[in-house]
Structure 1
Amino acid sequence: MSTDSTQRLVTIHADGESLEGTLALPPDARGLVLFAHGSGSSRLSPRNNYVAQVLHGGGVGTLLFDLLSAEEDRDYANRFAIGLLAERLVAATRWVRQEAEAAGLPLGYFGASTGAAAALRAAAQLGDGIKAVVSRGGRPDLTGPSISQVTAPTLLIVGGLDDVVIGMNEKAYAELRTEKQMVIVPGATHLFEEPGTLEEAARLALAWFQRHFKK
């Protein structure tokens, strides 16, 4: 995390579960991004934490949290239960709106893998309450019919070597009815592990959020 950001561990209660997270806010934050990680990942995802650091450097706060409890995560099917994951994201959004230090900040979602579908479904539910969505190596094709109801400007970032997922994102892109952009990062596979590729994805995400968080 950025040394200039204030951060604290938080607990979000949803559906009788206690979900752990980290809320980080840089000075004079211009907005706040909630992260929806992919299947088998968690708030400790090194890739999402790297992206969060880049956002902090650009004046954007973050909330990284576990969408599932440890017990729920042991049931593999829950990792692909997009409806459940989206509801957890909505619950976290409502929670963060009640936090004094985040009150009034524009909100956005960053989703990876299946988390992208959860982010889009939650954004469709909350409408104008979500100002921007970014998907990195995501599965927006799993969003379902509500993808056409998303109003938040949406950026889809896909690795150039992630052939199957490129096709899935192209399908979802065609169904989006909001401001949208799809960027293919050359030389990147699904997890953006190649040198410079995650940095490029983070740069793209920061620019998208900064653009749409302007008051």
Structure 2
Amino acid sequence: MKIELDIPADDVMLKGDIVVPDNSKGLVIFSHGSGSSRLSPRNRFVAYTLETQGFATLLFDLLTEKEDLNYQTRFDIDLLTQRLVKATEWLKSQQDYKQLNAGYFGASTGAASALRAAAVLGPEVVKAVVSRGGRPDLAERVLESVKSPILLLAGELDTPVIKLNQQAFKKMRCIKKLTIIPGASHLFEEPGTLEEVTRHANEWFLKYLYRYQKEIEKDFIK
């Protein structure tokens, strides 16, 4: 069942939708791209699929309606990161959600704020990060600081983003993986490509969010 939330972040309240299945395997917090919102059909598709696999999901607006009218604010990665950190900390303070391991799913520029927030909060709070068609280059200064396992997903036809992801991948000093989705463009509009995104994301979260400690220890031993 979806629950509507008002999430406090400094002096504003952010609108969010959370779904928590019984016996949840973990909580995936979505960080959408600039100009998008919690109503993003692609992120909602991914969220619904993760919910069917037993993960709780939170989709929320990183900006208020008024703030979203400002084009520059939409691309203020520092502000978006701050909002994501605040929302995560608030959730972890709530009795209903604090027991759930948390991870991030970042899309487009939202991947940058997800990576920056993961660097701020550390792997004790953010257990795993998945980036879809992301811009990790916008988080370049913290890439070496992120210790959470990171999965980068890019579309085969999205050549500029592939190059940016490859460059960022080399700078990461954590458990990491870069996967190219065949036949996919930046928005993953081609038949079956978004389903491939959800499959890879589910596997990553299952491994590093749900079974976190055992898998981390095993992969560092390798």
Structure 2 length as normaliser, TM-score?
A: 0.93
Q: Does 1:93 align with 2:109?
A: no
Match of 1:195 in 2: 191
Amino acid at match of 1:160: E
SS at match of 1:68: coil
CA distance in 2, matches of 1:189, 1:79: 23
2:48 corresponds, among 53, 64, 87, to 53
Query: Deviation at 1:9?
Result: 0.2
Q: What runs of 5+ residues in structure 1 fail to find an aligned partner? A: 1-5
SS at match of 2:122: helix
1:43 corresponds, among 13, 38, 42, to 38
Q: Does 1:134 align with 2:134?
A: no
Instruction: State the Cα deviation string for residues 126-177 of structure 1 (Å, max 9, x = none).
Output: 1121100000001011003111100000000000000111111111111111
CA distance in 2, matches of 1:70, 1:176: 34
CA distance in 2, matches of 1:120, 1:113: 12
Match of 2:219 in 1: none
Match of 2:155 in 1: 159
Match of 2:144 in 1: 148
Match of 2:3 in 1: 8
Query: Deviation at 1:77?
Result: 1.1
Q: CA RMSD in A?
A: 0.9
Q: What runs of 5+ residues in structure 2 fail to find an aligned partner? A: 213-222
Q: Does 1:174 align with 2:158?
A: no
Match of 1:102 in 2: 97
CA distance in 2, matches of 1:186, 1:174: 22
Query: Deviation at 1:87?
Result: 0.6
CA distance in 1, matches of 2:121, 2:11: 22
Contact 2:140-2:168 within 8 A present in 1 as well = no
Identity %: 52
Q: Does 1:66 align with 2:61?
A: yes
Instruction: State the Cα deviation string for residues 187-206 of structure 1 (Å, max 9, x = none).
Output: 10000000000000011001
